[in-house]
Amino acid sequence: MIKTFCFYLPIIKNKGVKMKLKRSFVLACFICFTGLFTITAQTICSSTYGTQDNYIYRFAISDYSGCMVLGSGGSFYVEWSDPDTIFASKGKRPGSLNQIVNYTVNYQPDGNSYLGVYGWATDPLIEYYIVDNWGTWRPPGEGYMGTIDSDGEIYEIYRIAKINSSSPSITGPADYEQYWSVRKSKRTRGSITCRNHFNGWASLGMNVGNLQEVSFFVEGHRSSGTADVSIISSDPPPPGNTGDVNGDGLITIVDALLIAQYYVNLNPQGFDQTKADVDCNGSIDIVDALKVAQYYVNLIHSLGC
């Protein structure tokens, strides 16, 4: 059970003291309010599939030497120790061709592992990977097709036919193809613009038909490690990145707190006022901060006019 405490603002004649108390009151109630969104984490230690917070999740492991912890929104944590194979993902189904996945991850692999955006498409039947980081082996190692430029880096493109594969497809046992985009340099935070990859693949004759899934994934083979996906948004961003008041390319609880600080005249540094009026009522107030907090935890799915 979550307990919250709010305080009454006393009647004080000294304006300076009263303003300080108003600031403390607003920020305390805002922090109190955001605490209502805390979600009890769910731990999974066997292969399963389901939904949480309007996200789909998948956890597959060849034995019981790893677990996945589901956090709020699209966040999750996974830890594994030398299973034959482990796969953990969380995302959207069917997802959008225009999806932009923003993420940060504390990634500590020991051996063969990789992470990024993952999904399926049908007509044709495609399993796809957009890889942003890896362990000792850089996948997939065969089927090189060319390169594309996306989100400030070159990605190498690979195409692999899976014939009589022991791994079933999204539609069951079937032949299918894998499309891969693998970043030339590793990173642990940033944005993955899915449309850039879909278009780049199509230019090489690798078409994506009916998109079925856009997820963030972590995979490992005969390795150990941890991955803490602390921030992930797989929704298309609001127009003009409304709500991203600190300009870091993400919309998080930090943006909500900065709006609350601005409202009580604390003048936070690096604050972009043009991104703060998320309800488009012509003013920047505590409601804007609360809406950003709701968006961050997936209680609402849009910001802006």
Of 37-41, 132-136, 169-173, the one with minimum mean pLDDT is 37-41
Percentage of the chain exceeding pLDDT 90: 67
Q: Which tokens in the block code for residue 171?
A: 């539609």
Which of the four pLDDT bands, split at 50, 70 and 90, describes residue 231? confident
Mean pLDDT of the chain: 87
pTM (predicted TM-score) = 0.73
pLDDT at 1 over 50: no
What is the average pLDDT across 20-37? 56
Please list the residues that pair with 92 across neighbouring strands. Answer: 214
CA pair distance 294, 33, nearest whole angstrom: 10
pLDDT tens column, 73-123: 889 999 999 999 999 999 999 888 889 999 999 999 999 999 999 999 999
Q: Compute how many other C-beta atoms are within 10 angstroms of the C-beta atom of residue 286.
A: 17
**Mean pLDDT (whole number) for 13-27:** 55
d(CA 282, CA 11): 30
Contact 23, 266 (CB under 8 A): yes
Pairwise CA distance, residues 118 & 236, whole Å? 16
> Active site residue: 79, 127, 142, 153, which one?
127
The residues that bridge with 160 in the sheet, in sequence order, are 178
Mean pLDDT check: name the lowest of 25-29, 150-154, 242-246, 300-304. 25-29
61 and 198 Cβ atoms separated by less than 8 Å: no
CATH fold of 42-233 reads Jelly Rolls (2.60.120)
- Domain ranges within the chain, ordered by starting residue: 42-233
Q: What is the pLDDT of residue 8?
A: 40
Q: pLDDT band at residue 27, thresholds of 50, 70 and 90? A: low
Nearest to 60 by CA among 84, 92, 90, 86: 86
* Active-site choice (142, 153, 177, 219): 219
Alpha carbon distance 25, 20 (integer Å): 9
- Write b or e for each residue in 17-26: b if 16 or more Cβ atoms lie within 10 A of its Cβ, otherwise e: eeeeeebebb
The span from the CA of 90 to the CA of 231, in Å, is: 12
| 219 annotated active-site | yes
Q: Could you tell me the pLDDT band of residue 40, with boundaries at 50, 70 and 90?
A: low
- With b for 16 or more beta-carbon neighbours within 10 A and e for fewer, the 60-99 pattern comes to bbeeeebbbbbbbbbbbbbbbebbebbbbbbbbeebeeeb
Rounded Cα–Cα distance for residues 213 and 119 (Å): 5
